[in-house]
Structure 1
Amino acid sequence: MPHVVTQACCGDASCVYACPVNCIHPTPDEPDFGIAEMLYIDPATCVDCGACVSACPVGAIVPGHRLPEEAQRFVDVNAEHYGHTQDDFVRFPVPRDKRLPLAPISKPRAVRGGPDLLEVAIVGSGPSAMYAADELLKQPRVRVTVYERLDLPFGLSRFGVAPDHTSTRTVMNLFDDIARHPNITIALNTEIGRDVSLDELRARHHAVLWAGGAPTDKTLQIPGVELSGVQSATSLVGWYNGHPDFVDAGPDLSAERVVVIGNGNVALDVARILTGDVDELAKTDISRDALAALRSSAVREVVVAGRRGPEHAAFTLPELIGIADGHARVWVDPADLEGVWADGVDDPTLAAKLSLLQEISQRPKPAEPFIRLMFGKTPVAVVGQEKATGVRFVRTGTNLEETLDTGLVLTSIGYRGVPVAGLPFDENTGTIANVAGRVTDGGTPVPGMYVTGWIKRGPSGFIGTNKTDSGETVAHLLEDAEAGALSRVG
């Protein structure tokens, strides 16, 4: 049976370049790469060589015959992306003249010209920063210094991934390998603007690459969000992952119902943690303080409420499969799916998502604590006096109101970048103004300043998306170095 990409897929495309028969798509050169929820192996082309398994940094690729029961659905997910079913699997290699051309592999070219030793500063140490460092360190005449505000590196891959997503968290092993390169230094507990200024960085280095991410949440603009008992899902993630900024963000878990406003992957993550088996969570590296709080939690239901219908749900298909076929208890009221059908939907990923939601809705209501997915609910107010006691919704597109009682409201409606002193900021996009990674001020490039990651493109994509994003920025940085356009400022 062919190999299969599973839920842990980070999308960094290392497997694409390792595959000898080009059976993994979309590739970074295909238009849907940036919006794909995961990568997919074509079972009709896969020759079971296993090259992709070695290349994958998060262990997301598994031989079909070794899939655990909770991942079996990914056999169909991979096949259906190419218009196949399990019955269509081809057990023999596709004839050479029938194969697609291999995905292009750009081998690093030594930079000629520019400084004898190119000194580059990277601000931040998350995935975009480490992928950028990896690209830069392919050049023997480059030295990289990473500046990290916290006392531990790797950003969201350490503090943003749910503790029970152990496979995804193993991407830090790759970053550890990069950090061992002799030409990289990681300066921890070093904050730009507090310990060293941006001007000082620019004076020390030929180029500064800002990889500070999108560290704040979008604000929910409804009455009552200032009440006690309302906090961002991001703060909860930081709390249970032991992020030092969120040590005191522990929620009040004394209410039986939690309402999460927004239904992206982060919303499903917090819902899964709040309803999970505490003994199983104890086997992960979840914060011990969070574990103790969860042991005494009174939560019996976590409602994940989306403003639009299920066809517009922000969570990805792999994340939905993870809670539907894993150990989470999840339920959808059939009334929320009335008039929604997977049949006739052209997008195979969306069709699979809708089909799975229908399947979940036909299951018996699970034992408590459980997750309930709700759709078509627009929040209009958090109700309560000093503390939240409920959320008032209207059925989207109508005047029908409904109030859900709760003592904890988590907002999860997206992230936003923050302005950086001394750099041009685009308020509309929440990003540092740039063109393909080159920082620009009024359309004019700022010499020696570059960006990558969410602060470059906005909060979109997955961990591995930063690999291609950083590759683009680094290519332009090296191009400028070769042209003699980089010099220390000051």
Structure 2
Amino acid sequence: MMRRIAIVGSGPAGFFLADALSKSGSVGVDLFERLTCPYGLVRYGVAPDHPATKEVMRIFDRVATRDNVRFYGGVNIGADITVADLCDVYEIVVIATGADSGRLAQFPGAEVRPDNVTAFDLMRAVNGHPNAAGLRLPNDVRSVAIIGAGNVAIDVARVLCREPERLRKWNTATGFLNWLEQQKIRWVDILCRCAPEGARFAPAMYDELVRVSSERNGTLVRFRYNTVPSAYDRRTLSIRTAHGIDSFIPADLVIHAIGQRAGAIPGLPVDAVSGAVQHREGWVVGDDSVFVQGWAAGALGTAIPDCRVAAKRVAPEILARLDRGTGILCGFDTAAILNRIGRVPINWEDWSRADAVGQRADRNLGTVR
């Protein structure tokens, strides 16, 4: 009977670790996902006009179809099933969940409202995340201010500068496209508290943004380095430079691209500020059968390729810990989950059939997923 490891989260951190752990064939891996759709950040956080980045999903597809890997979608760990429940039937449980909210810069007028949103929430809306259906954005937007100097800030600016019809071919969410079509964005200001040499976005991202912005009727993108926001009111953003010079810029929409907060899992100790699970070298404080990986462990700036490197690094340690165990715990099967939560989880075959229908519809519309 095969010993099994549970991984909570089917984004890049979870899938790359499932790949590394299951390759030997001697250990089974069960992936638990809160949503009915897998892939996490890759599906809902990557800008739709970068489809090549999303090609990593094909790797995840191959992992999920291995004989020793099972997928349970639509199961909310912490609500439907607790971490303690998992520990009863798995010798090792890995928490590889991602972020569940964006961070807001702190200044007067920075509370969440239609004209003041996080890049995290906006990109979810762009990609059709089910939790983004309630996001409200202002109308009559001509000027946008983006706070942040990383790749996410550049992604947001580029998407806002794209012609809606171009975005449509990349399977961008209809609700967002309908909103964008009604706006007449002319200015996008990117506020960077650092000097140009301290910016964290890739040069290629900058070059692409410049090209895209020139294609949409000359939308003007301005980088304001050594500048921070100081207040926001009535579609006007007050800003201050490092030299203490105050000024104002129009901002019908302010987007905060300064990071995310990890999603908390009930029953685990978390840091109050970052939301990351408290751990020592990956093992949860007070429970050495639970390991945390990726954003859940506080690696909030981790890029998709970094998740693969990290998985290869930690998989041998997790397998060694499993070998030192004395039990043979075989995890949950579909019937056991049904008995606990009152519904059948989504397996990989279910998801694959639904996804195939969606992809056929995309091809008929001439869009790329």
Given the two structures, how large is their TM-score scaled by the length of structure 1? 0.64
- Equivalent residue letter for 2:127: N
Residue 249 (structure 2) aligned to one of 379, 389, 404: 404
Q: Which residue of 2 aligns with 1:432?
A: 277
Alpha-carbon separation, structure 2, partners of 1:429 and 1:255: 32
Q: Which residue of 2 aligns with 1:390?
A: 236
Measured at CA, do residues 428 and 150 of structure 1 come closer, stay the same or move farther in structure 2, by a change above 3 Å? Answer: closer
Greater per-residue helix proportion: 2
Q: Secondary structure at the match of 2:285?
A: strand
Measured at CA, do residues 421 and 197 of structure 1 come closer, stay the same or move farther in structure 2, by a change above 3 Å? Answer: same
Q: Does 2:310 correspond to 1:469?
A: yes
Q: Does 2:190 correspond to 1:304?
A: yes
State the shift of 1:273 in Å.
0.9
State the shift of 1:305 in Å.
0.9
Alpha-carbon separation, structure 2, partners of 1:319 and 1:266: 10
State the shift of 1:486 in Å.
6.4
- Equivalent residue letter for 1:199: A
State the shift of 1:309 in Å.
1.3
Alpha-carbon separation, structure 2, partners of 1:460 and 1:164: 21
Measured at CA, do residues 489 and 449 of structure 1 come closer, stay the same or move farther in structure 2, by a change above 3 Å? Answer: farther
Moved more, 293-302 or 229-238: 293-302
Alpha-carbon separation, structure 1, partners of 2:151 and 2:74: 30
Q: Which residue of 1 aligns with 2:345?
A: none
Measured at CA, do residues 190 and 206 of structure 1 come closer, stay the same or move farther in structure 2, by a change above 3 Å? Answer: same
Contact 2:261/2:275 (8 A) holds in 1: yes
Q: Which residue of 1 aligns with 2:20?
A: 135
Alpha-carbon separation, structure 2, partners of 1:489 and 1:282: 45
- Equivalent residue letter for 2:320: E
RCO greater where, 1 or 2, for CA within 8 Å and sep 6 or more? Answer: 2
Q: Does 2:79 correspond to 1:194?
A: yes
- Equivalent residue letter for 2:49: D
Q: Secondary structure at the match of 2:288?
A: strand
**CA offsets, 1:210-242, max 9 Å, x none?**
001232222321111125411111111000100
Q: Which residue of 2 aligns with 1:248?
A: 134
Measured at CA, do residues 436 and 318 of structure 1 come closer, stay the same or move farther in structure 2, by a change above 3 Å? Answer: farther
Q: Does 2:229 correspond to 1:379?
A: yes
Alpha-carbon separation, structure 2, partners of 1:486 and 1:461: 34
Q: Which residue of 1 aligns with 2:218?
A: 368
Given the two structures, how large is their TM-score scaled by the length of structure 2? 0.84
Alpha-carbon separation, structure 1, partners of 2:229 and 2:93: 42
Q: Which residue of 1 aligns with 2:261?
A: 416
Alpha-carbon separation, structure 1, partners of 2:296 and 2:274: 9
Q: Which residue of 2 aligns with 1:112?
A: none
State the shift of 1:253 in Å.
4.0
Q: Secondary structure at the match of 2:144?
A: strand
Measured at CA, do residues 200 and 232 of structure 1 come closer, stay the same or move farther in structure 2, by a change above 3 Å? Answer: same
- The number of equivalent residue pairs is 330
Structure 2 segments unaligned to the other structure (5+ residues): 332-369
**CA offsets, 1:3-54, max 9 Å, x none?**
xxxxxxxxxxxxxxxxxxxxxxxxxxxxxxxxxxxxxxxxxxxxxxxxxxxx
Residue 237 (structure 1) aligned to one of 123, 134, 152: 123
Identity across the alignment (%): 29
Structure 1 segments unaligned to the other structure (5+ residues): 1-115, 331-365
Q: How does 1:471-486 map to 2 (within 5 A)?
A: 471-484=312-325
- Equivalent residue letter for 2:258: I
Alpha-carbon separation, structure 1, partners of 2:316 and 2:271: 23
- Equivalent residue letter for 1:395: T
- Equivalent residue letter for 1:129: G
Q: Secondary structure at the match of 2:153?
A: helix
Larger Rg: 1
Measured at CA, do residues 428 and 223 of structure 1 come closer, stay the same or move farther in structure 2, by a change above 3 Å? Answer: closer
- Equivalent residue letter for 2:238: R
**CA offsets, 1:329-353, max 9 Å, x none?**
39xxxxxxxxxxxxxxxxxxxxxxx
Q: Which residue of 1 aligns with 2:97?
A: 212
Contact 1:202/1:488 (8 A) holds in 2: no
